Amino acid sequence: MEGRKLVVANWKSNGRKLLIDNLNRAVCTDCDSINDLVLCPPAALLAYAVSAFADYAARQPFIRIGAQDCAAYETNCTGDIPCSVLAEIGVSYVIIGHSERRRIYCESNELIAAKVRAALQQRQIPIVCVGESLQEREAGRAFEVIKDQLAPLAFAFQPSQTTPAALIAYEPVWAIGAQQTPQYEEISEIHSFIHELTWAKVLYGGGVTIYNCNDILRANNISGVLVGRSSLAPDFYKMLTGS
Ligand code: PEP
């Protein structure tokens, strides 16, 4: 897959207004971009980030703001952020089904599918995370696990749609927050598998750094990267420039 790639920055619970300002300054002054950015700060900073990067609605790099999660339903539920509220403040992407939420909050494939539906109803682009644990990988079950995770999402990938409604992020759980990534050929193989099942664009996440990012983005069938820790570093913006 050629052309501009998407870099998704998942700041998790980190980042402050200052980090948003610093990233904005770096992108403005130093960024001859070849890739685009979806910045996903903590929920409390979403509105600030939308307004900080408002200028990029009409120029490159394409920069949009994403949430790290959303409510599955529009009904009252204390603490949940409905997609309609995210849409109202200008959030256009939502990470859904990150392995930390699957593990810590026991989010099921079905709940994740409900969140994807909720986001699509508000014309947001879901970035759905899938991936196997180390145990599942060692048992030779990676493909099966990913297929199961994708099964309730068929509605998001109808052949009648002109473009797939959602993005998929392949994030092997054992590579998240670790110093290792799969071999690039292994990533390409799993991305091809996901692409055949969904025809969605597939991003890779887990252990992406400023040092391996370009090589990963050059591998086959990789439409972008989802970056955790390294997206907090001062030189993160270089992932947009390919330098
Ligand atoms: C993540 O948390 O989704 C992630 C990819 O983290 P890291 O880049 O730190 O491995």
d(CA 106, CA 99): 9
Name the one residue in this structure whose structure tokens are 């700041």. 11
Average pLDDT, the chain: 94
Q: What is the pLDDT of residue 160?
A: 73
Q: What is the pLDDT of residues 179-193, one digit of tens each?
A: 889 999 999 999 999
Q: Kindly name the residue from 98, 107, 136, 191 that is annotated as catalytic.
A: 98
Domain ranges of the chain: 5-241
d(CA 6, CA 202): 10
**Which of ligand 1's atoms lies nearest the C-alpha of 231?**
8
Q: What is the pLDDT of residues 199-241, one digit of tens each?
A: 899 999 999 999 999 999 999 999 999 999 999 999 999 999 9
Burial of 13 (0-12, 13-18, 19+ CB in 10 A): exposed
Q: What is the pLDDT of residue 2?
A: 58
Q: Please give the DSSP secondary-structure letter assigned to residue 21.
A: H
- The CATH number given to 5-241 is 3.20.20.70
d(CA 56, CA 65): 11
Between 61 and 174, the more confident residue is: 174
Q: What is the pLDDT of residue 1?
A: 43
Mutate to test the pocket of ligand 1, among 94, 227, 232 (most ligand atoms within 8 A of CB): 227
- Kindly indicate the confidence band of residue 58, based on its pLDDT and cuts at 50, 70 and 90: confident
